[in-house]
Amino acid sequence: MYETLDTDANTHEPIKYQIGGNNKNIPNSIINNENSNQEQPVNNNNVINNNQEEFVSILDRYGQELTSREYITDPSIGRDEEIKQVIMTLLTPEKSALLVGKAGVGKTSIVEGVAYRIKNHKVPNALEGYKIYKLNVTSLLGKTESNGQIESRVDLLVKELSNRSKTIVFLDETHVLVNKDAGESGIDFANMFKAGLDRGEIKMIGATTDEEYEQYILRDRAFLRRFQKIDVKEADQETCVKILMGTYPKIEAKTGVHFAYTSFIIERIMRFIVDMTDEYKRIYEISSRYPDICLTILSNAFTYALYDNEDTCTIKHIYKAVCNARNIYDDARKKAIEKFKEDFSDLIYEEEVDLTETE
């Protein structure tokens, strides 16, 4: 299949580009049109002798393949039921999955969990060999100079997905496809996907919040009926502790900083973080939830260790992260600080931590 996207500047003959397959076949001039009217500096390292243009696919340009990632641990602890629902939906002909839940509850981690299981051959045979691409919708639809370029780009994506076998696309903020008022274009992008979804040529996992689902997606019943809605609830405290215990090894691997304690003490720290970020203590406007609100504090503790040029994360770094938590009310944070001093007085004493220097 070929698509005419441009004309030759000298002959005015149409230039056609092949669509679909795994070829890197769509020119950067069409895909990456930011600053297209500005002069670009010449980079001799990128000059091709025969003046042929470099080709890339839309998925390769704007997507990230989740099934090729190296996963240190399961990225979706405590979400087995939701993952099962996603897999069952993907196995259903002409149906795609739509994850709906509050911001920060871990919708993306569920998709990563599906990718993790595909990579490790823990899925039904019908899903073996599939690839999942996470697509950056904002980059795909934004920073362009004309509606025609946006529409061509999305049209290329639809054609590429329709012609690729064993490919699943993950679109976070799926409501943007339906919400014509989200940008200046006013183009009905959802309508461009409907035919491919109907024929089962496109398999998609979407994600959106409850509010955006009700405000935008429910208005387009024709688009919605192509999806199976999967509700993603906020994790409870016990599940959140398990998520933190399963996530910190990934943070250790990324930062090169390691906890200086046994698993028993680490779990004590995790339970404290979960308790101090209980729902009624959170700042309403921030709308952060389990596990995101806890992961922010945990990540900050490792960041403080890096800042101090230390390769171990100790109680003083956790204390700094607690003192600087900004997603909970000030009075709740002050109470958490005092409780931290009581609960971890043994470690504070053993390590001779001067808390006045860490606040």
Q: For the beta carbon of residue 347, count every other beta carbon within 10 angstroms.
A: 19
Domain boundary among 215, 231, 247: 231
82 and 52 inside one domain:
no
Ordered alpha helix ranges (H), 12-142? 28-31, 58-62, 80-91, 107-119, 137-141
User: Are 141 and 176 contacting, i.e. CB atoms less than 8 angstroms apart?
Assistant: yes
User: Are 293 and 277 contacting, i.e. CB atoms less than 8 angstroms apart?
Assistant: yes
User: What's the CA gap between 31 and 57, in Å, rounded?
Assistant: 9
* Element (DSSP H or E) covering residue 161: helix 147-163
User: What's the CA gap between 216 and 322, in Å, rounded?
Assistant: 38
User: What's the CA gap between 320 and 301, in Å, rounded?
Assistant: 7
- pLDDT tier at 53 (50, 70, 90 boundaries)? very low
Q: In this structure, which amino acid lies at residue 172?
A: D
User: What's the CA gap between 295 and 292, in Å, rounded?
Assistant: 5
- pLDDT tier at 136 (50, 70, 90 boundaries)? confident
Q: What is the pLDDT of residue 176?
A: 87
User: Does 339 score more than 50 pLDDT?
Assistant: yes
91 and 154 inside one domain:
yes
126 and 179 inside one domain:
yes
Between CA 270 and CA 67, with CA 119 as vertex, the angle to 5 degrees is 85
Domain boundary among 231, 252, 274: 231
Q: Which of 341, 337, 336, 235 is nearest to 295 (CA)?
A: 235
Judge if pTM exceeds 0.85: no
User: Are 20 and 159 contacting, i.e. CB atoms less than 8 angstroms apart?
Assistant: yes
User: Does 350 score more than 50 pLDDT?
Assistant: yes
Number of structural domains the chain divides into: 3
User: What's the CA gap between 332 and 39, in Å, rounded?
Assistant: 54
136 and 98 inside one domain:
yes
- pLDDT tier at 186 (50, 70, 90 boundaries)? low
215 and 277 inside one domain:
no
71 and 202 inside one domain:
yes
75 and 224 inside one domain:
yes
Determine phi and psi for 7, rounding to 5 degrees: -125, 150
Task: Out of 165-169, 255-259, 286-290, 330-334, pick the least confident.
Answer: 286-290
Per-residue pLDDT tens digits for 145-176: 577 888 888 999 999 999 999 999 999 999 98
User: Does 9 score more than 60 pLDDT?
Assistant: no
Q: Write out the residue range of the structural domain in which residue 347 sits.
A: 237-358
Q: What percent of the chain has pLDDT over 90?
A: 68
- pLDDT tier at 1 (50, 70, 90 boundaries)? very low
Per-residue pLDDT tens digits for 200-247: 999 999 999 999 999 999 999 999 999 999 999 999 999 999 999 999
275 and 158 inside one domain:
no
Q: What is the pLDDT of residue 150?
A: 84
User: What's the CA gap between 291 and 191, in Å, rounded?
Assistant: 34
Q: Which of 253, 277, 358 is nearest to 316 (CA)?
A: 358
- pLDDT tier at 91 (50, 70, 90 boundaries)? very high
User: Does 124 score more than 90 pLDDT?
Assistant: yes
Q: What percent of the chain has pLDDT over 70?
A: 80
- pLDDT tier at 144 (50, 70, 90 boundaries)? low
140 and 27 inside one domain:
no
81 and 114 inside one domain:
yes
298 and 320 inside one domain:
yes
154 and 106 inside one domain:
yes
List Cα–Cα distances, 5 to 27, 152, 214, 278, in angstroms.
10, 8, 36, 53
Domain boundary among 197, 231, 265: 231
Strand runs (DSSP E) across the chain, as ranges? Answer: 2-7, 14-18, 26-27, 55-56, 63-65, 96-100, 131-135, 167-172, 203-208, 227-231, 258-259, 312-313
Q: Which of 57, 304, 82 is nearest to 159 (CA)?
A: 57
Per-residue pLDDT tens digits for 240-284: 999 999 999 999 999 999 999 999 999 999 999 999 999 999 987
- pLDDT tier at 338 (50, 70, 90 boundaries)? very high
Q: What is the CATH number of the domain that holds 150?
A: 3.40.50.300
* Element (DSSP H or E) covering residue 53: none
Contacts (Cβ under 8 Å, ≥6 apart) of 147: 185, 186, 187
Q: In this structure, which amino acid lies at residue 259?
A: F
